[in-house]
Structure formats: structure tokens, C-alpha cells
Amino acid sequence: MLSGFLFIILWGTFVLLLPQSTVAGSIPFVDALFTATSAVCVTGLTVVDTGTTFTLVGQIAILTLIQLGGIGIAFFAILFGFVFTGRINIGQKSLFSSTMTPHAQWDIWGVFRIIFTVTVTVELIGTILIAIPMMGVVGDDPAKAFYYGLFHAVSAFCNAGFSLIPENLMAVNGEPLVIIPVMILVVIGGVGFFVIDDLLQVIRTKRRHSLTLHTKIVLVTTTLLTVIGAAVIGLLEFRNTFAGESTGFLIMNSLFASIMPRTAGFNIVNMAEMLNPSVFIVIILMFIGASPASTGGGTKTSTFAVILLLIRSQFQGSEAVSAFRRTIPSETLLQAQIIMALSTALIIIMTFLVLSFDLVGAPIEITGRGIFVSSLFETVSAFGTVGLSMGITPYLSWAGKFFITLTMFIGRVGPLTILLALQKRAGSVHFAYSEENLMVG
């Protein structure tokens, strides 16, 4: 997993460094590495403007990196392995099962086919829907409008947040023919391929197939986070960034502002102009992120749900943690706690490191005490592979760019994956020390 992501990132960095990839003919190495990592990790944070800095070659390279990173390295490992060797080895099956399905013995080829079919179908439909209103942005140029539609459809489905428009989607704020398809694409990409396959099986079997616990948890958590987030942000911002909007546009923009922090990164308002409570809600949503086996990052909706269920069981005095008449295994509970602890520790460390290096040439309004909020926002956005920013990304020092790059990488592959990859392969321990209690909490 780690090797696959690193290889694609280095390949993307090399391509973006080619003279043909940029309008100016060159780009600093750290900027190319940052952009490639942001694309592969489907984050969307940018230190340079994508539409004006990169040529068509560079933009297509970024789009390719987004698609590779969004669908997942495991998918392409199986694809290339089968094409070149005619078979799939046990290691590839294990990697695919662990990253794409909650069941080790799931029909791999079935999930493989659904990933390919859903990706092509959804992105093609999204391209057509977005390309039509893009005519008003690019002018009377159908080919360019189709290209813009394709780029934004892939970026939305992969939860990347990259845009060819300098102002991101703020340029089309109030255009429901763009905003609504983008939201739908982000949600579909964010729930995960296994959930999509599970729902399709219910439709195909006319409800004879029952949804798995994973699907139920993901759908309920996603819905609650979206609705509650939209309600809170809408109430806070209806006299601020959403002032003067009709009820319909207020609801649409509130939903957009609640969905995008779930690792998508598109924005229709300037994040720096939002109220502090709204920014805090966005940070929480970014930290939670999307769902497992999806195109997004973060601690994941199911992890957040498991922690809440664990807290509920403690309040109820129950020894077992259950949901929908199913008991959650103790191993899953432990993994959720480890992921939450590691993610919190990572955010704390990386925010401190980013704060330790000054911004280069930043305007006075984003420096001073306010830099703490901006740096925390930037770090959580990178970890959740979101791509939203309060405006400090272009002004990060080389060290700040490096730490944010590292955070994007860890956030995409997962802190637990990093831990498992780096831990010592020691033999099994067949003894335990005597127990002694200590006070906690």
C-alpha cells in the first residue's frame, strides 16, 4: 500500500517537473511534490493555481493522479497484475479485501466489476451534467466545456476538490446545475464502493438481500452528519456568507458547505470569511471525513460511529457494543480507538510543526494570532484529504509544505496502515506480566 502510493506520487512529481507540464516551463520541486501528493491523496490543497499554472499536459497528469488515488492503489494493483501475469496473487487479494470490503472472503471480482462500472458510469453522467452549465464559464466552446465537465466530475467523484477555475466553485455560486451534480458525485464517492455494491444488490434482488451492518452504519452516520452540519452552518451563516439568499439557495449552499468538508474540498464561499463557530464545525467534519473503501480520507464515518456506540454502551452499562441487533467485535472497537488516538496525535504534532515555521510573504490579515486557527484548519484539511483552506496554502514555507504533504499522505493511506507497516515483525509473545490497576480519567 505504502509503496504503491509513494511510487505514483514520485511518478506524478516527475511528470509535473517536465517543461511541457507548466506554462512557465518549470516549477519548484517542492511545489510539484505537493501538487502530486495532493492529487494522489485526493486532497485538493494547492500551492499554485491549477488552471493557469499547468498546461493541458500537466492538467491531464493531475487528473490521472486523482483517478489513480481516488479509486485506490489496490484496484490498479489487481488490474495491472492480471493484465501482465494473467492471475492475481494472494497478497493482492489480501490487500484488496482489507481496503475495499469488510469481509475477507467477499467476491473480489464482483466488487472489482462494480468499482469499474460505477466509476465510469457516474463520472460520465457527471461530466455531461456539469459540462452544460460550464458553457457559461468557458464561453461558447463545447470542447472546452466538456473538458471542464470531465475534470470537475472526476475531481468530485474522487473527492479531490481540484478545480480549473481560479476561484474554485465560487465562480459558479448560485448555479444549481453545477452545485447539485457536484454534491451528488461527492456523496457517491464518499460512501464507499462496498456500500454502493450492497445497495445495488438490494435493488437487483428486490430486497431479498439485506444490508450489511457496515452499510447501515455508513448511511445513517453520513446522513446525520450532513443534515446536522447543514443545519448548524446554515443557522450560523444565513446573516454572514449566505446573507440575502432565498430559502432554496440557503438550503442548497448549507448542504454544500456540510458535504464538502467530508473530504471533497470544493468551496463556494471564502472560508476565511466564515464565522468562528462555522469554521469549528467544518474542522470537525473534516476530521471525521468520508467512509472506508471510498475515495475520501479522514478518520472515517464508521470509526466515529463505533466510538459513539462504545460511549453509549458504557453509559448503559452494557458489556457488548451493538448496533442494528449486531454485536461489534472487540477487535473493531480497538482499531477504532487506535485510529482516533493516532489521528488526534498526528493533528496535534503537525499543527505544531506548521506553526513553528513562518509563512512566506503572507498578507497581514492572515498572520498574527489568527494563524493558529488557519494552521489547524490546514492540517485537519490535509489529514482528512479535504482541500479546503483559509488561504495560507500558497504562503507555506518549504518546511510547512513538507509537513502538510506528509499529513496528506498519512491521511490517505491511514494512520493505522502506517503503524502496521512500520511495526516490528516480532515473534508471538506467550506470556503476560501480572496485572496492576491505575487511575485514568
**Greater confidence, 428 or 379?**
379
Angle at CA of residue 133, ends 149 and 261, nearest 5°? 65
Cell matching residue 43: 486532497
Question: Mean pLDDT lowest for which of 6-20, 196-210, 219-233, 374-388?
Answer: 196-210
* pLDDT above 90: percentage of residues in the chain: 49
Angle between helices 2-17 and 398-413 (to 10 degrees): 140
206-240 in b/e form (b: 16+ CB < 10 A) is: eeeeebbbbbbbbbebbeebbeebbebbbebbbee
Contact 47, 34 (CB under 8 A): yes
Average pLDDT for 48-67: 94
- pLDDT for 439 equals 73
- Name the burial class of residue 280, with classes exposed (0-12), middle (13-18) and buried (19+) by CB atoms within 10 angstroms of its CB: middle
pLDDT grade, residue 427 (50/70/90)? low
Query: At 327, is the secondary structure helix, strand, or coil?
Result: strand
Distance CA 75, CA 409 (A): 18
Cell matching residue 139: 464561453
Tallying the residues shown for the chain, one arrives at 441
Question: Mean pLDDT lowest for which of 179-183, 355-359, 388-392?
Answer: 355-359
Write down the domain spans for the chain: 2-419
- pLDDT for 237 equals 93
- The residue type at 244: G
The pTM score is: 0.88
Distance CA 115, CA 92 (A): 16
pLDDT tens readout for residues 20-44: 999 999 999 999 999 999 999 888 8
